[in-house]
A and B are shown apart, each in its own frame.
Chain A
Amino acid sequence: MNTPYIIDDQEGGRFKVARNTFTSQEVFEQERDRIFQNCWLYLGHESELSKPGDFVARSVAGQNLLFVKGRDGVIRALFNVCPHRGATVCREKKGNSKSFQCMYHGWVFKNTGEIAHLSGEPAYEDNFKDDGNCDLRHVPHFDQYAGFYFVAFKKEIEPLADYLAGAKEYLDIVANQSAAGMEIIGGTQEYSIGANWKLLVENSVDGYHAEATHATYLDYLMNTNGSLTATRLAGKGHDLGNGHAVIEYSAPWGRPIAQWIPMWGETGKAELDRVYAELVERLGEDKAKQMATLNRNMIIFPNLVINDIMAITVRTFYPTAPNEMMVNGFALGVIDESDWRREYRLSNFLEFIGPGGFATPDDVEALEQCQRGFQSAANVPWNDISKGMKAKTPSFDDEVQMRAFWREWNRRMTSEEG
């Protein structure tokens, strides 16, 4: 590409992104090296591994990983790749196991990654497996913050806590919604979208599109007592540093923590009052109010979205081609919540979020239509992301959060060291 990727004219209040960043094979390949090999990437949540031997096999940036709690109680991230000839070792998506056997030549690994049985061992040199070359390999960097586990492949990388920058404060808000902790609820929404992955980054933190794209969802809220009609969509956008950003705003829909709506009746009101009282006691009035009544859509650079809205979704996605991404969507809930609250949390999730919700299908349509439009990139070359660029306090429906992402993306894609 000969043109710049972005035009960032702060004086003139104009921010443009080149549409061929969404279509170019060259950009796609550079992203693999400069973004996905070089950043901390989300792997999984601590609640997915409660007992020793619990494992989840997951693909991260196209690499098959094993997220596993060993019999020693230690949580690890291993390459789910046989050190012998490269076959995928664990072919189940999740479960509990003391060991993993490669189906090709029968090597067996402990759930700590160490070789347990080298088939045909007498034919190898003595001490052949003692130097670790027969063990499953560890992902170079593995760390967690507030129960969210991340991996990084680059040899040298800044510590996770530094990388997360201002996003830590907002991860805490998600992680501290109960003294007992949070958990990923069983059942994953796995889907693909025929659009560039960066379109979903933008869309996940886009407060501007709700009224046009999601008109039918807002109608639904009005039809069903699913809203507090006096509560307006209003709030702010924040650049959290290192490409991370959040919008924080009030909204009319119900929140299982803890914004009641008429549909939930008196039982629901009593329960959410109790939830709120506990928050105030544990965290103080200000934090409790922020946690309970405000919604947050957050992007953690490059591809983790945590949206604490009518329910909490954790979503991560990877490009498989310039015009295709794979998405994994999870629901996060409070570990010790009542059956009633869990049921309403899931019900709330499904009314908006995910492939069968009243909103996500229209987002998918929008993203795929953008991707089609980008076929004209040679003639209509620029996207505009200027909204609220000169505002002192950017609104939630301005675009400061997308500019934060794009500036970091551009920095990494154009820096000398690569």
Chain B
Amino acid sequence: MSNENAMAELLRFYRVQQLLFKEASLLDAWQLQEWLALFTDDGSYFVPPTDVPAEEADPAKHLYYIADNHDRLTERVIRLDKKTCHSEYPRSKVQRLVSNILIDDVAADGTITVKAAFTVYRSKNGITDTFMGNYVYVLKEQGDELKISRKTCNLALNGLRPQAKISIIL
């Protein structure tokens, strides 16, 4: 590999990593509107079921936990910012760890597919729930910025036991 190509790949990886870490940081700080702005205007967000293989799961055919197009994702953020969102008011404390970032594919149009591992801790009422799994991102260039076009959170769990609910953004 030429130095030039290596530098380009390194730069791409750096931009992807910065985006994922920034996203985690915004979610940990409950800056949800700022988080939503990381998505493209048609960006979407998915949490598939845990009893269907990730490669088969399809939100048009299977019952997911979450399948938000951009409109519903916007409404999710509006909801999470309200005091009447009882499950998250008072707010829980959250901490995300994002790791194992792998650039899986770069398409001719610049679309990047990224895989990463996550652990999300949520503490409330003296109970800490742990969510773990892997993210699959589809990232697109918009202007000078890399934006999230699609985020899928594949849970490495046998169901939400004992977490009960996904009342935060994963």
Do residues A187 and B160 form an inter-chain contact, with CB atoms below 8 A? Answer: no
Listed A/B pairs (20) with beta-carbon separation below 8 Å: A93-B51, A94-B51, A186-B61, A187-B63, A188-B51, A190-B51, A192-B160, A192-B162, A192-B163, A220-B75, A220-B79, A342-B60, A351-B72, A354-B65, A355-B164, A356-B166, A360-B165, A365-B86, A366-B86, A368-B164
A interface residues (Cβ-Cβ under 8 A, vs B): 93-94, 185-194, 213, 215-216, 219-220, 223-224, 324, 326, 330-331, 339, 342-343, 346-347, 349-351, 354-356, 358, 360-362, 364-366, 368, 372
Contact among A224, A355, A361 with B75 in the assembled complex (CB-CB below 8 Å) = A224
Q: How far is the CB of A62 from chain B (nearest CB, A)?
A: 14
Do residues B87 and A365 form an inter-chain contact, with CB atoms below 8 A? Answer: yes
Complex contacts, B61 vs chain A, CB 8 Å: 185-186, 342, 346
Q: Answer whether residue B159 sits at the interface, using C-beta atoms and an 8 A cutoff.
A: yes
Do residues B84 and A188 form an inter-chain contact, with CB atoms below 8 A? Answer: no
The verdict on A364 contacting B87 (CB below 8 Å), with A186-B62, A190-B161, A350-B64 known, is yes
By the criterion of a CB under 8 Å from any partner CB, how many residues of chain B are at the interface? 40
Do residues A191 and B165 form an inter-chain contact, with CB atoms below 8 A? Answer: yes
Do residues B79 and A346 form an inter-chain contact, with CB atoms below 8 A? Answer: no
The verdict on A191 contacting B163 (CB below 8 Å), with A216-B84, A346-B59, A346-B67 known, is yes
Among A187, A191, A213, max chain B CB count under 10 A is at A187
Residues of chain B from 31 to 87 with CB closer than 8 A to chain A in the complex: 47-52, 57, 59-67, 71-72, 75-76, 78-79, 82, 84-87
Nearest B-chain residue to A372, judged by Cβ: B125
Contact among B66, B127, B164 with A350 in the assembled complex (CB-CB below 8 Å) = B66
Query: 4 nearest interchain CB pairs?
Result: A190-B159, A187-B63, A187-B49, A187-B62
Contact among B65, B76, B85 with A189 in the assembled complex (CB-CB below 8 Å) = B65
Complex contacts, A365 vs chain B, CB 8 Å: 86-87, 167
The verdict on A187 contacting B166 (CB below 8 Å), with A224-B75, A362-B87 known, is no
Q: Answer whether residue B158 sits at the interface, using C-beta atoms and an 8 A cutoff.
A: yes
Contact among A93, A187, A351, A355 with B165 in the assembled complex (CB-CB below 8 Å) = A355
Given pairs A187-B48, A368-B125, 15 additional interface contacts (CB within 8 A)? A186-B49, A190-B51, A190-B161, A192-B163, A192-B164, A216-B82, A219-B79, A346-B60, A346-B62, A346-B67, A350-B64, A354-B65, A355-B160, A356-B47, A368-B164
The verdict on A355 contacting B62 (CB below 8 Å), with A190-B50, A216-B82, A223-B78 known, is no
Do residues A223 and B60 form an inter-chain contact, with CB atoms below 8 A? Answer: no
Do residues A347 and B51 form an inter-chain contact, with CB atoms below 8 A? Answer: no
Complex contacts, A215 vs chain B, CB 8 Å: 82, 84
Q: How far is the CB of B88 from chain A (nearest CB, A)?
A: 8
Complex contacts, A361 vs chain B, CB 8 Å: 87-88, 165-167
Nearest A-chain residue to B163, judged by Cβ: A191
Do residues A364 and B63 form an inter-chain contact, with CB atoms below 8 A? Answer: no
Q: How far is the CB of A59 from chain B (nearest CB, A)?
A: 12
Measured in the bound complex, the distance between the Cα atoms of B62 and A342 in whole Å is 9
Do residues A364 and B164 form an inter-chain contact, with CB atoms below 8 A? Answer: yes
Do residues B165 and A358 form an inter-chain contact, with CB atoms below 8 A? Answer: no
The verdict on A189 contacting B49 (CB below 8 Å), with A224-B71, A346-B63, A356-B66 known, is yes
Measured in the bound complex, the distance between the Cα atoms of B84 and A190 in whole Å is 25
Complex contacts, A220 vs chain B, CB 8 Å: 75, 78-79
Measured in the bound complex, the distance between the Cα atoms of B159 and A188 in whole Å is 9
The verdict on A191 contacting B164 (CB below 8 Å), with A186-B52, A362-B86 known, is yes
Do residues B60 and A343 form an inter-chain contact, with CB atoms below 8 A? Answer: yes
Do residues A362 and B51 form an inter-chain contact, with CB atoms below 8 A? Answer: no
Complex contacts, B71 vs chain A, CB 8 Å: 224
Measured in the bound complex, the distance between the Cα atoms of B52 and A93 in whole Å is 11
Measured in the bound complex, the distance between the Cα atoms of B65 and A346 in whole Å is 10
Do residues B164 and A193 form an inter-chain contact, with CB atoms below 8 A? Answer: yes
Measured in the bound complex, the distance between the Cα atoms of B64 and A365 in whole Å is 21
Do residues A339 and B65 form an inter-chain contact, with CB atoms below 8 A? Answer: no
Among A94, A188, A331, A365, max chain B CB count under 10 A is at A365
Do residues A191 and B78 form an inter-chain contact, with CB atoms below 8 A? Answer: no
Do residues A358 and B79 form an inter-chain contact, with CB atoms below 8 A? Answer: yes
